[in-house]
Structure 1
């Protein structure tokens, strides 16, 4: 993330005199108490360095209390002042001298002003005034082109224009469908295969022919089918994926990729689908190794909670509708694609999908709100925290500090990490450091590398069970970059039954097991090698951001 720039923020509130109704007092006239009058606007954000030539499209975003008469106030840039337009306005408004251009840059309602409001790229100040009184001043140093500076206490947080600021959304009591992979590869497609109105599929990558078949079948049933993926995945895009996206695009499915120099997120890493009135949230990619059940241990859930479904659909539209979401046909022009190794193994089915009741579900997204919520959840743990991750971030990052705080309170913490060859050494160092810390602190914390034992190929799940009755699952790798720079989607499920289901999966993976042979044609070959005293293993590489 870009560094935070210091902002001097000075606010003084004016006392607003009550005004009686009418032109003169009457026996029945009553004055509105000052305490009930709306307060003054405040500066929410500044956009001083547009991408457009000549810095056209600068604007200032104000938070305006309902009922505020905007025309009483003015904005100044240290050199000139512009009066705000008359009339009351929405709770948030973008003020600019170039309203036609700015309406294409933001979903915030736009108000045009006359005069000159010029915000220097090398550093400047913006002041909100009423009469001769300055109510608030925001100062900033050098800017980055195309970024919005959002006032955050005494600092400015710079973020790409168009990045969302979504709150945590919760859904009430309901039954959800819990499942795990590779055990139940049909589960992620269940809702898509039933949809006939809409399917919005978001992912990091999409190579699965099964998923493409389901999307095309939904389109033939009349559903509005759209796909949104990462434009530049780690390790490059494979030929198989390019062919899959060609197939969808040529059939009329809208396929877009988040890409380009002004992309709002480092990676579009979310993994979910909206299918009619159902939502599916996953830890896995839409590929044979993930949703196909051919390699990865993953967690997933399907829910029909209206607030969760609607909010997730809004997130999809916000991400797919912005200018950094380019059409596949445009993105693929002139690009070369890499040959990938297909995942073809199969594994025993030990955990069937289950319908489980939850008291509440919370929808979290990054970088907007997820890390704060997850840290608070860990800080509220009282008995146990079980975490499964492919790998984790730095020792002093917020989520890992929260794990150690929990253990320091006497909460039993277990951290299970992948033993895949490409992260094994790094994860072993993490395990060793946690074990040494736990011994010094006399804290009930354990960490280990997973032993798949033939039940799956590698750990790719990103989840946790807290106190046995809260489940966290989604696309978020527990590291600071993913939490603050990527688009990720996470669900928090509150309920003992959900905790029991995913807790059983975690316990089985924590215990590991004696290696067993994968089922299917490969078993016979490996059996012959075993008789000869040989060991053979083929693994598929996936970067830690997958």
Structure 2
């Protein structure tokens, strides 16, 4: 009756909900505050002393009954926040079979899909046998964070630091978890996320493990068809058109590696992908000039005219660059002070041609910059299987998006009055500010040697 009565009073006073506290004898804590509640009975007062623990809180209740009679007892903890707040924080990605030696770049992503901020202080991540207690970090609605084993190893693979680390303190600027060092087994594990009071907020099972309570059906498996290996894959949730995780059903079907889903499944992801930034379709309604150019009929002339007219910068992202006239025009612009930056595929089918090697040498000698997206060079791993974009940006004002690379076949420079070589292709040029801004962001992200 005593415990029930105190709980009722606390609820009426608006002090929150009641939940079980951990074993006080096993967890160090510190006294937070004392408060007095009037139980609306003569000569009777309740003094509560709150002790904050690693896994929750504990309340020492001292009740005065009058005539020098005092009763004491431990109560379940009382929180000032709703303990159900944060149920919409999801485990949204897992990086477990990693590239780094010793797999020091293991990582887990958490995503707030709810409508309010969630403070993650004292929340607990577990790999099934070890527990890491999160530092004092918060997630705004619609935002995500990464927590990694070691921050420096994670940053080397992903191109940006994580928001916390659970292993060695490799970066003083990154807050550390408390508790154990998690180990994400390559063969499989059960990952759980719990609130400070121990309430299960999310559970994810992957690999060869027995499905735990709260999980339905088979665990998540990486998508390994079509030549994709499990090593280096980031398991991640399916996303909607806004770039937010789909509703959680605690099944493998929630995840993008789902081999049965022909539309949203059968997908892979690797470190360094800026998936969250570029996943949502980009739609703009703007007044702009549009030019549609056709290969092989007039694409060479159109591209050459824009290269020669550029006064400030030219950025090109493509699979190959094998058109000698276009290559020499880019070198000429670089020689005249135009900022020429080029990103090409490092392992095109058949290898890099001698023609391209010569062209890129001329551009670099003229002051331009040429980069390749490569794999396994100085411990690097390329982010995508192939760089297959065809994108050019002129003076940050006009963008070309097309189907063709600058080659002799796709952009022939011969006299076309008596027929021509080449294959059919098309490209769109526009000065639409939103489209140009999106292309600029994509090029800046892909061609970012400082981070990738």
Q: Give the structure-1-normalised TM-score.
A: 0.50
Separation in 2, partners of 1:300, 1:273:
10
Would the alpha carbon gap of residues 322 and 151 (structure 1) be closer, same or farther in structure 2, given more than 3 Å must change? farther
Q: Give the structure-2-normalised TM-score.
A: 0.60
Map 1:262-301 onto structure 2 (within 5 A).
262-276=381-395, 277-292=397-412, 294-301=421-428
SS in 2 for 1:288: coil
| 1:313 and 2:410 correspond | no
Q: What does residue 78 of structure 1 align with?
A: 128
Would the alpha carbon gap of residues 323 and 296 (structure 1) be closer, same or farther in structure 2, given more than 3 Å must change? farther
For residue 254 of structure 2, the aligned residue among 154, 165, 173 is 154
- Whether the 8 Å CA contact 2:191–2:203 is kept in 1: the answer is yes
| 1:179 and 2:265 correspond | no
- How far did 1:69 drift? 0.5
Separation in 2, partners of 1:211, 1:149:
41
* Unaligned runs of at least 5 residues, structure 2: 1-12, 17-32, 37-79, 166-176, 209-221, 223-229, 239-252, 258-267, 414-420
Query: Which structure is richer in relative contact order (CA contacts within 8 A, separation 6 or more)?
Result: 1
Larger mean Cα displacement after TM superposition, 253-262 or 240-249: 253-262
- Whether the 8 Å CA contact 2:100–2:153 is kept in 1: the answer is no
Q: Answer 1 or 2: which has greater helix percent.
A: 1
- Whether the 8 Å CA contact 2:344–2:372 is kept in 1: the answer is yes
Separation in 1, partners of 2:311, 2:99:
40
SS in 2 for 1:105: helix
Q: What does residue 193 of structure 1 align with?
A: 308
| 1:241 and 2:356 correspond | yes
- How far did 1:218 drift? 2.9
- How far did 1:323 drift? 8.9
Q: What does residue 187 of structure 2 align with?
A: 122
SS in 2 for 1:246: helix
- How far did 1:273 drift? 0.4
- Whether the 8 Å CA contact 1:77–1:119 is kept in 2: the answer is yes
Separation in 2, partners of 1:215, 1:80:
56
- Whether the 8 Å CA contact 1:199–1:226 is kept in 2: the answer is yes
What's the CA shift string for 1:409-464, capped at 9, x where partnerless?
Answer: xxxxxxxxxxxxxxxxxxxxxxxxxxxxxxxxxxxxxxxxxxxxxxxxxxxxxxxx
- Whether the 8 Å CA contact 1:49–1:146 is kept in 2: the answer is yes
Larger mean Cα displacement after TM superposition, 94-103 or 276-285: 94-103
- Whether the 8 Å CA contact 1:40–1:68 is kept in 2: the answer is no
- Whether the 8 Å CA contact 2:374–2:382 is kept in 1: the answer is yes
Separation in 2, partners of 1:259, 1:301:
28
| 1:93 and 2:220 correspond | no
| 1:54 and 2:102 correspond | yes
- Whether the 8 Å CA contact 2:152–2:161 is kept in 1: the answer is no
Separation in 1, partners of 2:109, 2:231:
17
CA RMSD of aligned residues (A): 3.2
Q: What does residue 456 of structure 1 align with?
A: none
- Whether the 8 Å CA contact 1:63–1:92 is kept in 2: the answer is yes
Separation in 2, partners of 1:49, 1:281:
36
- Whether the 8 Å CA contact 2:120–2:136 is kept in 1: the answer is yes
- How far did 1:81 drift? 0.9
SS in 2 for 1:93: strand
Would the alpha carbon gap of residues 220 and 266 (structure 1) be closer, same or farther in structure 2, given more than 3 Å must change? same
| 1:163 and 2:273 correspond | yes
SS in 2 for 1:186: helix
Q: What does residue 302 of structure 1 align with?
A: 429
* Unaligned runs of at least 5 residues, structure 1: 1-16, 26-31, 326-546
- Whether the 8 Å CA contact 1:258–1:324 is kept in 2: the answer is no
What's the CA shift string for 1:332-384, capped at 9, x where partnerless?
Answer: xxxxxxxxxxxxxxxxxxxxxxxxxxxxxxxxxxxxxxxxxxxxxxxxxxxxx
Would the alpha carbon gap of residues 272 and 247 (structure 1) be closer, same or farther in structure 2, given more than 3 Å must change? same
What's the CA shift string for 1:251-289, capped at 9, x where partnerless?
Answer: 332211222253332221111101121100121111122
Separation in 1, partners of 2:393, 2:90:
37
User: Which structure has the larger Rg over C-alpha atoms?
Assistant: 2
- How far did 1:156 drift? 5.0
Q: What does residue 532 of structure 1 align with?
A: none
| 1:105 and 2:118 correspond | no
- Whether the 8 Å CA contact 1:196–1:219 is kept in 2: the answer is no
- Whether the 8 Å CA contact 1:225–1:253 is kept in 2: the answer is yes
- How far did 1:19 drift? 6.7
- Whether the 8 Å CA contact 2:151–2:161 is kept in 1: the answer is no
Task: Count residues in correspondence.
Answer: 302
| 1:63 and 2:111 correspond | yes
Separation in 2, partners of 1:79, 1:148:
22
- Whether the 8 Å CA contact 2:318–2:343 is kept in 1: the answer is yes
Separation in 2, partners of 1:291, 1:254:
22
